[in-house]
């Protein structure tokens, strides 16, 4: 059987290679390729489990369905909250806020689902304290084929289907790759994955 998380059992005893301040320092100038599994490692939870190229647990999302109160926490391997994602209340369209840690003030980013039919490839716009978006997310989340572009149209992160190392074995849509370019915060990239799943996924946590 092809393993999704080869070192998950030992990840709790070894330090996580990524943190909210690392900004994708794995591999120096090379992109970081993470494996995202749309599954919580805890029972009775909805969420995500994310592993680095060595199979170490780096991020997790564990949302108890009965306890969800309009927010999602992105945690590191030890359970410390890196980002808090909240739906913006009383807003037009599907708008979300990304906060650092467990704060609920001064959001780091505002993410709006695209509702315009003029650019059907656009999935969402990401803002940071100004009316012009600093990131644009395009592609198809259903096919796990999305890219995040910055203001200069440089790809900073990409969602791709994951291919199994064993010929003839395929992962489903719940297991995919997140490729993050150097200089872009891997935690923020994972936060965008969470929001795409809320906006376009088959099921929502909250």
Is CATH 3.40.430.10 the classification given to domain 8-200? no
Between CA 104 and CA 98 the distance in angstroms is 9
Q: Residue 71 forms beta bridges with which residues?
A: 86
Note down pLDDT in tens along the chain; length 206 residues: 345 555 544 444 444 445 444 444 444 688 999 999 999 988 878 899 999 999 999 999 998 654 556 789 999 999 999 999 999 887 777 899 999 999 889 999 999 999 887 778 899 999 998 888 999 999 999 999 999 999 999 999 999 998 876 666 667 889 999 999 999 999 999 999 999 999 998 766 66
Rounded Cα–Cα distance for residues 13 and 182 (Å) = 27
SS (HEC) of 66-122: CCCCCEEEEEECCCCEEEEEEECCCCCCCEEEEEECCCCCCCCEEEEECCCCCCCCE
| pTM (two decimals) | 0.83
- Domain range summary for the chain, segments of one domain joined by +: 8-200
């Amino acid at each position: 059987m092809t393993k999704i998380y080869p070192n998950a059992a030992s990840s709790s005893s070894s330090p996580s290679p990524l943190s909210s301040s690392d900004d994708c320092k794995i591999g120096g100038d090379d992109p970081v390729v993470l494996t995202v599994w749309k599954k919580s490692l805890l029972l009775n939870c909805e969420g995500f489990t994310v592993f680095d190229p060595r199979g170490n647990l780096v991020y997790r999302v564990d949302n108890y369905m009965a306890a969800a109160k309009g927010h999602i926490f992105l945690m590191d391997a030890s359970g410390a909250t890196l980002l808090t994602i909240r739906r913006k209340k009383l807003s037009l369209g599907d708008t979300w806020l990304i906060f650092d840690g467990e704060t609920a003030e001064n959001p780091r980013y505002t993410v709006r689902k695209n509702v315009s039919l003029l650019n059907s490839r656009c999935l969402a716009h990401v803002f940071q304290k100004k009316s012009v978006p600093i990131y644009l997310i395009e592609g198809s989340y259903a096919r796990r084929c999305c890219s995040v572009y910055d203001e200069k149209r440089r790809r900073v992160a990409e969602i791709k289907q994951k291919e199994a190392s064993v010929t003839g074995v395929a992962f489903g849509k719940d297991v995919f790759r997140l490729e993050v370019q150097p200089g872009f915060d891997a935690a923020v990239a994972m936060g965008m994955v969470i929001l795409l799943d809320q906006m376009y996924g088959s099921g929502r946590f909250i």
